[in-house]
């Protein structure tokens, strides 16, 4: 079976490890660009499209964080929908970062919402706190080639409040990771990864190595690069033979045009330059190890 992670694996092999996060806040747009549009939604959409056009060959996948669009209300969700459609039309893989998680019938509704219709994405993020029966309603879509990334160990300061609680020497996130990998066994792809991936943030090297070893069939979505303090070396420990994970950067790319290094470039050119810099940074770290 070819699953969603096989497609992602192929993209990584071709283009490197960059997951470009379109967490686009209206305030991120250059003023002289934004002023040409009659609504915030239109401006955000145009900003996204310009960045996508400049990065299709250097970003393995795009992650669109729905919260930024929800915050703009119905108009924002229109821009969200159009961003997803544009990406898919261009042949890009799309992760909808929605972190939904709910019981049976409600989870079915979320699956329908984000794997079909106005908000269709290839892969979505989910929150497993309520248990594994919040994951199973996505199965019919995994069978049809969609994928999910479930939260395992996140990179925020409070991540260990719950994820780090221990039982019998194991942390909650380790147990969650193992439950998810077990669920994923029936959705294994050609490349050795199941359609159920995991979100794993930057943590100490020892923990990272442990996560990678235990979750050997789990593709990783890795936040925390750059702005959140993670280095390319940190990220490299989550990969296997140079694949099996993508590294997200959102503000680092969207706001690259404000950095001294890219002075004088338009925002979309700067985004491309930052994607290339990040891609090469990760490649170098992998070669160095």
Which CB atom, from 243 or from 248, has the smaller least distance to a copy of itself? Answer: 248
Query: Of 2, 13, 131, 229, which one interacts with a copy of itself (CB under 8 A)?
Result: 131
Q: Is 39 in the site for a copy of itself (CB under 8 A)?
A: no
Which CB atom, from 119 or from 193, has the smaller least distance to a copy of itself? Answer: 119
Which CB atom, from 178 or from 242, has the smaller least distance to a copy of itself? Answer: 178
Q: Is 161 in the site for a copy of itself (CB under 8 A)?
A: yes
CA distance 71 to 15: 32
Phi, psi (degrees; rounded to nearest 5) at 100 = -75, 155
DSSP run (H or E) holding 181: helix 172-183
Q: Is 209 in the site for a copy of itself (CB under 8 A)?
A: no
Which CB atom, from 158 or from 288, has the smaller least distance to a copy of itself? Answer: 158
Q: Which residues contact 91 (CB under 8 A, 6 or more apart)?
A: 56
Q: Is 68 in the site for a copy of itself (CB under 8 A)?
A: yes
Q: Is 130 in the site for a copy of itself (CB under 8 A)?
A: yes
Q: Is 222 in the site for a copy of itself (CB under 8 A)?
A: no
Query: Of 34, 56, 159, 188, which one interacts with a copy of itself (CB under 8 A)?
Result: 159
Which CB atom, from 106 or from 233, has the smaller least distance to a copy of itself? Answer: 106
In the window 179-208, what residues touch a copy of itself (CB under 8 A)? 179
3-state SS, residue 163: helix
E strand residue ranges, 129-257: 147-153, 166-167, 170-171, 196-200, 220-222, 245-249
Task: Print the binding letters for residues 70-109 with a copy of itself: x by CB under 8 A, - otherwise.
Answer: xxxxx--xx--x-----------------xxxxxxxxx-x
* Total number of residues that touch a copy of itself (CB under 8 A): 56
Residue 165 C-beta: closest distance to a copy of itself, Å: 5
Q: Is 127 in the site for a copy of itself (CB under 8 A)?
A: yes
Residues 196, 187 contacting (CB under 8 angstroms): yes
Give the position of tokens 């221990």.
Answer: 166
| Tokens matching residue 97 | 């970062």
Q: What is the DSSP string of 37-89?
A: SSSHHHHHHHHHHHHHHHHTTT-SEEEEEHHHHHTTHHHHHHHHHHHHHHHHH
Q: Is 128 in the site for a copy of itself (CB under 8 A)?
A: yes
Q: What radius of gyration do the chain's Cα atoms show?
A: 18
Which CB atom, from 119 or from 149, has the smaller least distance to a copy of itself? Answer: 119
Helix axes 40-55, 267-288, angle to 10 degrees: 40
Q: Is 23 in the site for a copy of itself (CB under 8 A)?
A: yes
3-state SS, residue 132: helix
The catalytic site residues sit at 99
Distances 221 to 27, 36, 81, 129, 207 between C-alpha atoms, Å: 26, 35, 22, 18, 16
Give the interface with a copy of itself as residue ranges (CB under 8 A).
23, 25, 65, 67-68, 70-74, 77-78, 81, 99-107, 109-110, 112-114, 117-119, 127-134, 151, 154-163, 165-167, 172, 175-176, 179
């Amino acid at each position: 079976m070819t699953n969603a992670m096989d497609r992602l694996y192929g993209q990584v092999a071709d283009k490197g490890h960059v997951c470009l996060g379109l967490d686009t806040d209206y305030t991120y747009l250059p003023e002289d660009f934004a002023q040409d549009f009659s609504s915030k939604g239109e401006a955000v959409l145009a900003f996204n499209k310009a960045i996508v056009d400049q990065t299709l060959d250097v970003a393995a996948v795009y992650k669109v964080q729905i919260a930024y669009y929800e915050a703009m209300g119905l108009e924002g969700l229109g821009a969200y929908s159009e961003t997803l459609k544009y990406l898919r039309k261009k042949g890009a893989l799309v992760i909808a970062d929605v972190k939904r998680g709910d019981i049976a019938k409600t989870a079915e509704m979320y699956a329908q919402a984000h794997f079909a219709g106005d908000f269709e994405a290839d892969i979505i993020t989910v929150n497993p706190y309520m248990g594994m029966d919040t994951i199973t309603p996505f199965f019919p879509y995994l069978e049809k080639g969609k994928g999910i990334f479930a939260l395992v160990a996140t990179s925020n300061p409070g991540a260990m409040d719950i994820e780090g609680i221990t039982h019998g020497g194991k942390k909650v996130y380790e147990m969650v990771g193992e439950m998810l990998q077990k669920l994923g066994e029936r959705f294994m792809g050609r490349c050795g990864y199941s359609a159920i991936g995991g979100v794993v943030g930057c943590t100490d090297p020892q923990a990272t190595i442990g996560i990678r070893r235990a979750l050997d069939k789990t593709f990783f979505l890795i936040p925390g690069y750059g702005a959140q303090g993670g280095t390319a070396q940190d990220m490299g420990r989550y990969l296997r033979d140079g694949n099996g994970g993508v590294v997200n950067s959102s503000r680092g790319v969207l706001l690259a045009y404000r950095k001294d290094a890219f002075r004088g470039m338009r925002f979309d050119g700067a985004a491309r330059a930052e994607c290339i810099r990040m891609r090469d940074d990760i490649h170098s770290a992998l070669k160095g190890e």
